[in-house]
């Protein structure tokens, strides 16, 4: 019979949570950084519609990546909470409602801004 080391599971799952959370917000930082830089370069070469199109596609991709990372955080959180309760840490919330997460709204806004940007780039190209 194997003995489960709940403290080790707790440590590993907590580190996974911290890593995924940091990674998720780095996607947002990349989105914020890439927009103005790409549009400035595109405007310099009189290719604003192409620049807006490329930035919009990147925003959609980064929004989808944020959603995927958030799903991983939620799955990891279930195991983390289980291990935490077995070692006596009862302060990890069990309500992982996506509606309450700011990152969920941020990722959806990135996707919406991406689609709006695509439409605007098509209008600029016309």
Q: What b/e string do you get for 83-110 counting C-beta neighbours within 10 Å, with b at 16 or more? A: bbeeeeeeebeeeeeeeeeebeebbeeb
Extents of the domains making up the chain: 6-125
What whole-number distance in Å separates Cα of residue 23 and Cα of residue 10?
20
pTM passes above 0.95: no
| Cα 21 from Cα 29, distance rounded (Å) | 13
pLDDT of res. 79 = 82
Q: What is the mean pLDDT of each run of 10 residues along the chain (126 residues)?
A: 71 91 93 90 89 94 94 86 80 65 90 96 89
C-alpha distances (whole Å) from 9 to each of 88, 98, 113 are: 13, 24, 39
């Amino acid at each position: 019979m194997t003995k489960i080391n709940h403290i080790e599971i707790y440590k590993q799952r907590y580190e996974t949570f911290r890593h995924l959370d940091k990674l998720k917000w780095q996607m947002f930082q990349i989105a914020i950084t890439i927009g103005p830089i790409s549009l400035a370069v595109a405007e310099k070469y009189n290719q604003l519609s192409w620049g807006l199109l490329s930035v919009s596609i990147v925003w959609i991709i980064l929004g989808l990546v944020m959603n995927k990372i958030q799903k991983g955080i939620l799955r990891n959180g279930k195991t983390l909470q289980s291990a935490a309760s077995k070692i006596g840490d009862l302060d990890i919330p069990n309500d992982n409602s996506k509606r309450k997460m700011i990152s969920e709204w941020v990722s959806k806004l990135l996707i919406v801004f991406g689609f709006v940007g695509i439409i605007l780039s098509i209008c600029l190209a016309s």
